[in-house]
Structure 1
Amino acid sequence: MKYLTIKGEKLSQIGLGGADLGRQPENEAAAIHYGLTHGINVVDTAESYPGSEKIIGWAMQGLDRSQTFIVSKVLPSHATPDQERRSLEASLKQLGTDYLDLYLLHWRANADLAQAVAGLEGLKQEGLIRHWGVSNFDVADMEDLLKVPDGGQVFANEDLYNIASRGVEYDLLPWQAQRGIGFLGYSPFHAVGWNYLHPTLVLREIGAAHHATPYQVMLAWITRNNNVLSLPKASSVDHVKANIAALDLELTDDELRMIDEEYPAPTTKVPLEKI
């Protein structure tokens, strides 16, 4: 397993994504349990993912809680101190834990950032969360966040990032790196439900050269610079095994060039993509 460090936290370079769980709860719980006992130490969920928190809590039974970095998210409609507390308490109950490692504002919408941050800082001071952050924020949103009291305490921002959605590379990734703010990338296969990326011939050929699947190539590409914590969905043990193995895949300069030709890097500002 490969790791990166965000503000002193040693985190596995891939985590376990919790979106759209509940189709096969036993298989999903087994996948999460497998990942957490084979080097992955990050699991990501949200109050808006029906059943996801409960499945993750089930999967974690019997494990050392201190060895897992649990991420969940609060809806922008709940982004006030009182409502954040209620949402957090409900999430903690579902997860079967008494604290979160990271609590994210799921997206900005019409949330009052000063109120949201005040509530999150209060939860942190009480020990109910260890860190807080945001999700689906672009550079302008992050700049607004840093203007509010304690906004600079943000731990990470979680955004869509995959081989076909590279807009964050133009400005957001370097902006966060310069300020030491972690970047979590969701949907590495652009997958929510049925909406998977369809591998091109280039990806299939690169995969074949490494005795790997095109999806392993995609994940190796995302983690190539050791500056992104990617969150592939955990739906089966075999899927988690393949994701872990992808971290050992080293793409050559020629292969990276071929991927850039197939999926070009942005050369101008791109509106933030979301799923």
Structure 2
Amino acid sequence: MKSVRIAGRKVFPIGLGTANMGSDKSIYNQELEAIRGGLEAGIQVIDTAESYGNGDAENLVGHAIAPFDRKNLFLVSKVLPSNASKTQIPVSIDRSLKRLNTEYLDMYLLHWKGNIPIEETVLAMEKVKDSGKIKAWGVSNFDAEDIYALRRMDGGINCSTNQVRYNLGDRGIEFDLLPTLNQFDMALMAYSPIARGDQFGANLTKQKKVIELAEKYNVDVFQILLAWSIRDGQTLAIPKSSKIEHVLKNVDAATISLNSDDLRKLDEVSPKPTSKMPLALWY
């Protein structure tokens, strides 16, 4: 079984994203079934945030994980930049833990950069980690220069991961950010790993070469895009789906091993970056 290492732990390389989940009561049970079905199929990582539905997603996750062995899970949540101060991070983490019905998080992320000095956030993260309420911490939506600056701060070398938008159509991080993360042995968490569009507005699911690969492996085009996102063995992808059938297909995508010829064809669909590109953002 494929795995990826994050914060010193090996986990299944495909997780569960939960943005915009938990708020629509008409599909709450469907979303609950999707999360539990994914966990039963081998998924370990669930990614959420205090901002998702003002805590609704965390409440959903807390409900979903109740029947499972906590030590087998890898729970990730994110703190809003406005709450990333030395006084507010302790408040936010306690609220997240209560909604998730757990005593600790495996990973706690700064959702994006804000007005609070990052030096203060780092020290607050370290203090929360020392308390045992989080096992590790990281950042989200940080570019290469942000990572270098972070590493120079007291405690900054303890940043374990960076969560950014990454998919076949959004490859800008390959130019400088991904090499930077590899240099510092920081795991990449990829959100929106099966986004349909690229920077030119093309729908990747309609591309002939993507369709041909899906036919070759007898899978759907979304599974090909997801398999591409974890191809290097160092990326943890966190696609979001509220339907169990889609979640199970995501799990199966980890069994697809794209060869060099396959990857060359996908490079023709969406080429590697040859210069610095703006970080693709979606909060």
For this structure pair, what is the TM-score category when the shorter chain's length is used for normalisation?
A: over 0.9
| 2:7–2:136 Cα contact (<8 Å) kept | no
1:40 and 2:43 correspond = yes
Offset of residue 234 of structure 1: 3.1
Cα pair 1:163 1:263 within 8 Å, conserved: yes
- Are 1:258 and 2:261 counterparts? no
Whether 2:250 is the aligned partner of 1:247: answer no
SS in 2 for 1:129: coil
SS in 2 for 1:58: helix
Distance apart, 1:42 and its partner CA: 0.5
Identity among equivalent positions (%) equals: 40
The one-letter amino acid of 1:183's match is L
Q: Distance in 1 between matches of 2:51 and 2:228?
A: 29
What is the CA–CA distance in structure 1 between the aligned matches of 2:248 and 2:239, rounded to whole Å? 12
Partner of 1:165: 170
Could you report, residue by residue, the CA deviation over 1:29-57 in whole angstroms, capped at 9, with x for unpaired residues? 11111111221110000001011111111
Letter in 2 for 1:185: A
Taking the aligned partners of 1:189 and 1:20, their CA distance within structure 2 comes to: 17
Cα contact 2:166–2:190 (8 A) shared by 1: yes
TM-score by length of 1: 0.95
Contiguous gaps of at least 5 residues in structure 2: none
Q: Compute the TM-score of the two structures, normalised by the length of structure 2.
A: 0.93
Return the offset for 1:205: 1.6
Please say if 1:233 is aligned against 2:236: no
Alignment of structure 1 residues 1-275 onto 2, 5 Å? 1-22=1-22, 23=24, 24-50=27-53, 51-190=56-195, 198-199=204-205, 200-275=207-282
Q: Note the C-alpha offset of 1:197.
A: 5.1
Which contiguous aligned blocks of 4+ residues in structure 1 show a shift greater than 3 angstroms? 195-198
Q: Give the SS at the match of 1:248.
A: coil
Rounded Cα–Cα distance in structure 2 between residues aligned with 1:17 and 1:203: 24
Q: CA deviation at 1:196?
A: 11
1:124 Cα deviation after fit: 0.4
* Stretch deviating more after TM superposition (201-210 or 153-162): 201-210
Q: What is the CA distance between 1:190 and its match in structure 2? A: 2.4
Amino acid at match of 1:45: T
Deviation at 1:111, TM superposition (A): 2.8
Aligned residues: 273
